[in-house]
Structure 1
Amino acid sequence: MRILVVGRGGREHAIVWALRKSEKVKHIICAPGNAGIAQLAECVDIAESQFEELAQYAVDQAIDLVVIGPDDPLADGIVDVFEAKQIPVFGPRKNAAIIEGSKTFMKDLLRKYNIPTAAYEKFDNYEDALAYLRQQSAPIVIKADGLAAGKGVTVAQTMEEAEQALQEIMVSKVFGSAGSQVVIEEFMAGQEMSILAFVDGETVRPMSPAQDHKPVFDGDKGPNTGGMGTYSPLPHIPQSIIDEAIETIVVPTAKAMVAEGRPFRGVLFAGLMITPDGKPKTVEFNARFGDPETQVVLPRLKTDLVDIFLAAVNGTLHELEIEWSDEAAVCVIVASGGYPASYPKGLPISGLDEVQEAIVFHAGTALNGEGQVVTNGGRVLGIVGLGATIAEARAKAYADAERIHFEGKQNRTDIANKALV
C-alpha cells in the first residue's frame, strides 16, 4: 500500500513509525512532515491547509489510504474533500469533527444525552459572560469555544485571573475567531485520564489509557501547554474506573453522534477527570490522535495499525479485535525555552545520535541549509522509554532526554511520578 499521512508533529511521527512496522505498507509519504519523519518517509512540501492540493497529489500518486493527523484540517473539512474524490481517508468528516472544533457543541451534546461532565454555561457576549463570572467563585475554568492549539483553556485560581482570561479571549481576541464564544465551567479536581478509541459509528475499540501533563512546569504549575509528557498504562487507576469511563462516556458519545446524524469515524479522544468520589467525568473530546498521548499508546499496539485504519474506513471495525502489549511507555517532551509563550526557532540540536534506548519522536524540528536538525516549534521532541514497568520506562526516557541539547531546552522532571506513588 501507498499511504499519505498529513501533518508535521510528534503525533504524525508516531503514526508513521507505527505504519512502517506493517508488511502491508510499501511506501509512506508525509505532508509536510519534519526532520524526524523524513528519516522514515518521503516528505512533500504541501501544507495541511492545502486541501485541494493534497487531494490532487493523492490522486496523482495513486495513494491507497490517507491518514489525517492534526485538528484544524479535520475541523475545516479535509476528510470531506478526500471523500469527494473517492480517496480512502481515516478521520472524521467536518460534521463529526465539530465535537472538538466547538466546545459549546460538545458540552451541549453531553448535556442532551446525560453524559457526565462539569456544569457550565456558554456565552457569545462579553458583558453577559463577565456578569455570570462575577457570580461564581474560583477556581473556575474559562474555555475559548474553538481550536486554539491546546492553549485556549485557563484553569483560573483567582477571580482576577478568570476575568483576565475572559478579557483576552473575548475582547483582545488572542485566539482570534476561536474566542467568539466561551464556555465557563466548574472546576473539577482529581486525576486526569485520556482514553483514545478507534471509532466507526457506534463501534468503539478503546486504546490503552494514558495520562497527560498539561502545565509547563513540575508539580502541574504554570500555564497550560499542548502536553509536556505522557505515560501508559495507568497502574494506579483501577480497571473498574476505566471500564466505567468507556461505558458511561465514550460509547454513549459515539452513539449520540450517530443519533445526531454526525457518525464519527476515526479516533475519538476523551479527556477525562476522575473526581474524588471515583467517578469519571468528561473534560473535553478531541477528534483525532492526541499529542503526546499517541507517542506512548502506539508503541504498545500489537495489532497492525493498517488493519485498524482500513477496518474503520470500510465500516468493519466491529469484526476486529485489537491487542496491546503489557509493556509500559513514558514520553518526556523536550520543549523550547519560553514555550508556551514566544520562543526562538532554528537552534541546532545535538545529541540525537547519542540516544541509547528511547524512541525519539520529532515534534517541532526542521533541517537547516547545512542538513542539521534544528528547533522549529514549541514542543521539539518526544523522548519515549519502554519497559516492563513505568519506573523502568521512565528511567530510559529521562536518561536519553539528558543526552539531547539545544539552547534554552526545557522539560518537566516529574512525568509519570503519580504512577510511582
Structure 2
Amino acid sequence: MKVLVIGSGGREHALCWKLSYNPGVDAVIAAPGNGGTAQVARNVAVKDSDIQGLMALAKAEGVGLVVAGPEAPLVAGIADACAAAGIPCFGPDAFAARLEGSKAFAKTVMREAGVPTAPFGVFADVGEARAYVRAHGAPLVVKADGLAAGKGVVVARTVDEALEALDDMMVKKSFGEAGAAVVVEDALQGEEASFLAFCDGEQFALLPSAQDHKAAWEGDTGPNTGGMGAYSPAPVLPQDKYAETAELCIRPILRRMAELGHPFKGVLYAGLMFTKDGPMVLEYNVRFGDPECQPLLMRLDGDLLQIMLACAEGRLAPDMVRVRQQTALCVVVAAPGYPGSYPKGMAIHGLAEADALPGVKVFQAGTAVKDGGIVTSGGRVLGVTALGDTLAEAKARAYEAVGKVGFEGAFFRRDIGDKGIARSRAKGV
C-alpha cells in the first residue's frame, strides 16, 4: 500500500519514519515533506493547503491511505475530499476539525458535552470584548478564534495586556482573519499535559500522556512558540489516571460529535491543565502535536498503518495500541530569532553522529536538501529524540545527541523534562 503523508514538519518526518518500517507499506509519499522525509519517503512539491493538488496526487499514485499531519488541510476539508474519492483518510472531516479550527466552536462543544473547561466569552465586536475584559478583570487568556499556527494565544496578567491583545488580534489583524473573533477565558493555574487518543468515531484507544514546553526559553519564560520540546509519559498524568481522565475529556467529545452527525475519526488531542480543582481542558487539537508526536511514536509498538486504517474505517480496537514502557524525550533545536524572524539556508552538521547514538532519532522539521546536504528552512529545525528507562536517562541521551548537531546561531532549551523529573523525585519514583 502507498501512504500519502501531508505536511513538512518534525511530526511528518516522524510519521513517515514510523510508516516506512511497516511491512504493509510499499511506499511513503510526503507532500511537500522536508530534508528528513526525503530520507524515508518520496517528497512531492504539493503544498498542504492545496486540496485539489493533494487529491490529484493521491489518485495518480493509487494511494491507499492519506495521513493529514497538520491541522490546516483537515480544516480545509481533505478528509471530505478523500471520502468523496473513496480513499481512506486518517483525520476528521472539516466539521469535526473545527474543534481546532475554531476556538469558539470548541468551547461551545465542551460546554454542551459537559467537559470541564475555563469560563469564557466569545466576541466578534472589539468593543464588547473590551467591556468584558474591564468588567471581568485579569488574569485572562485571549485566543484568536481561527488557526494562527499555534501562536494566537496571549496569557494576559493585567487588564492592559488583555486589551492590547484584543487590539492586536481584532484591530491590527496580527493573525489575519483568525482574529476576526476571539475567545476570552479565565486563566487557569497548574501544570499542563497533553492527552491523545486514536478515535474511529465511536471507540478510542489511548496514547500515553505527554508534556510540551511552549515558551521559548528556560523556566517557561519568553515568547510562545509551536513547542520547544516534549516528553512522554508525563508524571502529572500517571497511567492509573488515564481511564478516568478519558471519561472527562475524550469520550464526551466523541459522543457529542456523533450526535452532531460528524463522528470524530483520527487523533483527538486534549490539552489539559491540572488545577487544584482537577483537570480542565485548555484546547483540543485534531492531529498529533508537534513535538509530542516524536516521543509518542518512539514509544509506539503497535502497527501504525493498521491503527490508522482502523480509525478511518470505524473498526478500532483498544488493544491495537501498544507502547513501550520506556520514556521518550524530544529537544527542539531552533533557528536564531525564532519565534520571530530567522535566517534560512544554514548548513546543519552532525546529523549522522547524533542518529548513531543508542536510542536516539533526530527528526527534521525546518530543513531542506541543498547540494546534497541538509540546510535550515524553518524556525524549529530539529527534534532530537531519545528513549530511556527513566525520564532522566532519556533526557541525558537526548542532550548528548543535541551536542552532536548544530548550525549557526542554533539554540534550544536546556530544561526539557525537568518538571517531570522533579515530580517523580517528589513521589520517590
Same fold (TM over 0.5): yes
Question: CA shift at 1:125, angstroms?
Answer: 0.4
For residues 137-165 of structure 1, give each alpha carbon's deviation from its aligned partner in whole angstroms, at most 9, with x where no partner exists. Answer: 32210000001000000111222222111
* Separation of aligned partners in 2, 1:174 and 1:123: 17
After superposition, residues 100-115 of structure 1 pair within 5 angstroms as 100-115=100-115
For residues 275-303 of structure 1, give each alpha carbon's deviation from its aligned partner in whole angstroms, at most 9, with x where no partner exists. Answer: 024x1110000011111110010111111
Question: CA shift at 1:225, angstroms?
Answer: 0.8
Contact preservation (8 Å) 2:28, 2:41:
yes
Equivalent in the alignment of 1:396:
397
Equivalent in the alignment of 2:96:
96
Equivalent in the alignment of 2:226:
226
Contact preservation (8 Å) 1:98, 1:105:
yes
Question: CA shift at 1:418, angstroms?
Answer: 0.8
What SS class does the counterpart of residue 347 from structure 1 fall into?
coil
Question: CA shift at 1:319, angstroms?
Answer: 6.9
Equivalent in the alignment of 1:50:
50
For residues 203-256 of structure 1, give each alpha carbon's deviation from its aligned partner in whole angstroms, at most 9, with x where no partner exists. Answer: 111111100001111111111111110000123534344332211111111111
Contact preservation (8 Å) 1:308, 1:320:
no
For residues 14-73 of structure 1, give each alpha carbon's deviation from its aligned partner in whole angstroms, at most 9, with x where no partner exists. Answer: 111111221111111111100011001111111111211211221111111111111111
Equivalent in the alignment of 2:409:
408
Equivalent in the alignment of 1:361:
363
What SS class does the counterpart of residue 3 from structure 1 fall into?
strand
* Separation of aligned partners in 2, 1:238 and 1:305: 23
Equivalent in the alignment of 1:16:
16
* Separation of aligned partners in 1, 2:289 and 2:318: 25
After superposition, residues 13-92 of structure 1 pair within 5 angstroms as 13-92=13-92
Contact preservation (8 Å) 1:311, 1:320:
no
After superposition, residues 345-360 of structure 1 pair within 5 angstroms as 345-355=344-354, 356-357=356-357, 358-360=360-362
Equivalent in the alignment of 1:132:
132
Contact preservation (8 Å) 1:241, 1:280:
no
Q: What is the letter of the counterpart of residue 344 of structure 2?
A: K
Q: What is the letter of the counterpart of residue 23 of structure 1?
A: P
* Separation of aligned partners in 2, 1:394 and 1:137: 40
What SS class does the counterpart of residue 54 from structure 2 fall into?
helix
* Separation of aligned partners in 2, 1:225 and 1:263: 31
Contact preservation (8 Å) 2:96, 2:264:
yes
Contact preservation (8 Å) 2:209, 2:238:
no
Q: What is the letter of the counterpart of residue 388 of structure 1?
A: D
Equivalent in the alignment of 1:317:
316
Question: CA shift at 1:320, angstroms?
Answer: 4.7
Equivalent in the alignment of 2:427:
none
After superposition, residues 143-292 of structure 1 pair within 5 angstroms as 143-277=143-277, 279-292=278-291
What SS class does the counterpart of residue 420 from structure 1 fall into?
helix
Q: What is the letter of the counterpart of residue 421 of structure 2?
A: L
Contact preservation (8 Å) 2:344, 2:377:
yes
Contact preservation (8 Å) 1:311, 1:317:
yes
Equivalent in the alignment of 1:343:
342
Quick check: 142-151 or 199-208, which moved more? Answer: 199-208
Equivalent in the alignment of 1:371:
372
Contact preservation (8 Å) 1:151, 1:226:
yes
* Separation of aligned partners in 1, 2:303 and 2:218: 36
What SS class does the counterpart of residue 320 from structure 2 fall into?
coil
* Separation of aligned partners in 2, 1:305 and 1:154: 35
Contact preservation (8 Å) 2:206, 2:318:
no
Quick check: 392-401 or 46-55, which moved more? Answer: 46-55
Tell me whether 1:305 sits opposite 2:304 in the alignment: yes
For residues 81-139 of structure 1, give each alpha carbon's deviation from its aligned partner in whole angstroms, at most 9, with x where no partner exists. Answer: 12211112111110110110000000011112221001100100011101111122322
What SS class does the counterpart of residue 199 from structure 1 fall into?
strand
Unpaired segments ≥5 residues, structure 1: none
RMSD after superposition: 1.2
What SS class does the counterpart of residue 250 from structure 2 fall into?
helix
Equivalent in the alignment of 1:293:
292
Tell me whether 1:381 sits opposite 2:382 in the alignment: yes
Quick check: 64-73 or 231-240, which moved more? Answer: 231-240
Q: Using the aligned pairs only, state the percent identity.
A: 49
* Separation of aligned partners in 2, 1:212 and 1:28: 28
Quick check: 341-350 or 284-293, which moved more? Answer: 341-350
What SS class does the counterpart of residue 135 from structure 1 fall into?
helix
Q: What is the letter of the counterpart of residue 391 of structure 1?
A: A
* Separation of aligned partners in 1, 2:318 and 2:379: 40
* Separation of aligned partners in 2, 1:237 and 1:46: 39
Moved segments of 4+, more than 4 Å: none
What SS class does the counterpart of residue 87 from structure 1 fall into?
coil
Q: What is the letter of the counterpart of residue 395 of structure 1?
A: A
Contact preservation (8 Å) 1:244, 1:280:
no
Q: What is the letter of the counterpart of residue 395 of structure 2?
A: R
Alignment length (residue pairs) = 419
Equivalent in the alignment of 2:326:
327
Question: CA shift at 1:363, angstroms?
Answer: 0.7
Distance 1:89-1:386 versus aligned 2 partners, 3 A rule: same
For residues 330-371 of structure 1, give each alpha carbon's deviation from its aligned partner in whole angstroms, at most 9, with x where no partner exists. Answer: 000011111111111111111212214220001110122x22
* Separation of aligned partners in 1, 2:334 and 2:419: 21
Q: What is the letter of the counterpart of residue 16 of structure 1?
A: C
Contact preservation (8 Å) 1:275, 1:281:
yes
Q: What is the letter of the counterpart of residue 296 of structure 1?
A: P
Contact preservation (8 Å) 1:76, 1:94:
yes
